[in-house]
Amino acid sequence: MFRLLAAAFLLCAAVATAQGLETKNGPVAVRTWGYQLQRHEPAAIAAAPHDLMVVDFARHGDEASKFTQDEVAAMQRRDDGGRRVVVAYISIGEASEFRTFWQRDWTKRGRARSALTDEAPAWLGPVNPDWPESRKVRYWDPAWQAIIFNKARTGWLDQIVTQGFDGAYLDIVDAYYFWGAEAKKRDGHDDDPIDQQDAARRMAAFVVAFTEHARQVNPQFFVIPQNGEFILNDLRHGKHPQQSDSQLAEDYLDAMGAIAIEDTYYRGDEEENNALATDGGKVEVLKEDFLKAGKTVLVVDYVNEAELVADFQRRARADGFIPYAAPTRGLDRLGAPGVAK
């Protein structure tokens, strides 16, 4: 089981948050992290100073260019002889046209933004207007989950485990917000969630099953959900509680090595360098539901102007979070680690 080895919650701005994650190769102290999904090479990642790195499982996002076990091991080795944590990105709430599992006959023109055909699977939902190469998915559907992991161990997760990654960085966990809101319209499929609590329950159950499957091979495997920070609150508080909800919340926390959150301080409509607009509700729930439970909180804001980067890092550390200032929202360049002076 994943164990948090050291926790430092509400630190002053002059002290960096330092926490430890246990991996199959032993504990790794984490006080900085980085996030790069494009134009990343093992040699460059290996030379990076970050304690934890989030990368795609492949150079170009497909199985043909996936990193080998040796390349993953190289990324995990530090120049000083120590280890870094390396986790693989995986989207569990959307399907993208550039992934290997995508079938062109699902839409009229083969692209995600095209109209669905009769060949489209029942789990394939509407286009994401912000990322039109992707569509929402009914993440609770067994057919979608089988693409992610399955008994034959041919799923996306199974591949990540085989490659030797320490864990998985789960994107679009907050898809449950979408399906919870859609439930209010009552125009979806018969098996769609009935409300936000139900949508949260289905996502939490998916993440727990995902992690349990990976731990059959690597008992120290953990996940880092990106966003969806209100999931425990939504699971615990709703009009349709179930007796299993409390245990599911605990299992969800146990599955996690950390939680990662985008756009907490510098937020807005621009791709990068928005004005300061701290999301106080987000900060509060991260402290109450995750820091107090002993979980590492990673935050990424998309800023590259030196003054904004420094202020973001100071604010995040003061709240007990580990900051990463991403130079671009496309995540095609690696920013410097946010180490306190």
What average pLDDT score do residues 257-262 get? Answer: 98
- Residue 175, SS3? helix
What average pLDDT score do residues 180-201 get? Answer: 82
For residue 132, being part of any structural domain is answered with: no
Q: Among 76-85, 171-180, 316-325, where is mean pLDDT lowest?
A: 76-85
Please state the separation of Cα 305 from the chain's center in Å.
25
Contact 212, 132 (CB under 8 A): no
For residue 103, being part of any structural domain is answered with: no
Residue 93 Ramachandran class (φ > 0 left, ψ -120 to 50 alpha, else beta): alpha
Q: Among 15-24, 234-243, 253-262, where is mean pLDDT lowest?
A: 15-24
DSSP 210-273: HHHHHHTT-TT-EEEEBS-TTHHHHHHSSSS--TTHHHHHHHHHHHBSEEEEE-SSB-SSSSS-
The reported pLDDT for the residue numbered 9 is: 31
Q: Which residues fall within 8 angstroms of residue 294, CB to CB, at 6 or more apart? A: 4, 7
Q: Among 74-83, 169-178, 241-250, 263-272, where is mean pLDDT lowest?
A: 74-83
pTM for the whole structure: 0.92
For residue 201, being part of any structural domain is answered with: yes
Query: Would you place residue 340 in the very low, low, confident or very high pLDDT band (cuts 50, 70, 90)?
Result: low
Q: What percent of the chain has pLDDT over 70?
A: 92
Number of compact structural domains in the chain: 1
Q: Among 107-116, 119-128, 182-191, 306-315, where is mean pLDDT lowest?
A: 182-191
The reported pLDDT for the residue numbered 318 is: 97
For residue 218, being part of any structural domain is answered with: yes
User: Which residues are paired to 168 by β-bridges?
Assistant: 88, 223
pLDDT at residue 161 tops 60: yes
For residue 334, being part of any structural domain is answered with: no
For residue 6, being part of any structural domain is answered with: no
Query: Would you place residue 187 in the very low, low, confident or very high pLDDT band (cuts 50, 70, 90)?
Result: low
The reported pLDDT for the residue numbered 160 is: 98
CA-CA distances (angstroms) from residue 340 to 6, 29, 110, 190, 201?
Answer: 18, 15, 48, 51, 38
The reported pLDDT for the residue numbered 339 is: 72
For residue 160, being part of any structural domain is answered with: yes
How many other C-beta atoms lie within 10 A of the C-beta of residue 27?
15
Query: Would you place residue 41 in the very low, low, confident or very high pLDDT band (cuts 50, 70, 90)?
Result: very high
How far is Cα 131 from Cα 79, in angstroms, rounded to an integer? 37
Query: Tell me, what CATH number does 194's domain have?
Result: 3.20.20.70
Radius of gyration in angstroms for the set of CA atoms belonging to the chain, rounded to a whole number: 19
Please state the separation of Cα 91 from the chain's center in Å.
8
Q: What is the span of the domain harbouring residue 181?
A: 23-93+139-293
The reported pLDDT for the residue numbered 62 is: 87
The reported pLDDT for the residue numbered 282 is: 98
Q: Among 41-55, 131-145, 187-201, 218-232, where is mean pLDDT lowest?
A: 187-201
Q: Which residue has the higher pLDDT, 248 or 17?
A: 248
Average pLDDT, the chain: 92
How far is Cα 188 from Cα 90, in angstroms, rounded to an integer? 26
What average pLDDT score do residues 252-261 get? Answer: 98
For residue 13, being part of any structural domain is answered with: no
The reported pLDDT for the residue numbered 189 is: 66
What average pLDDT score do residues 175-201 get? Answer: 84
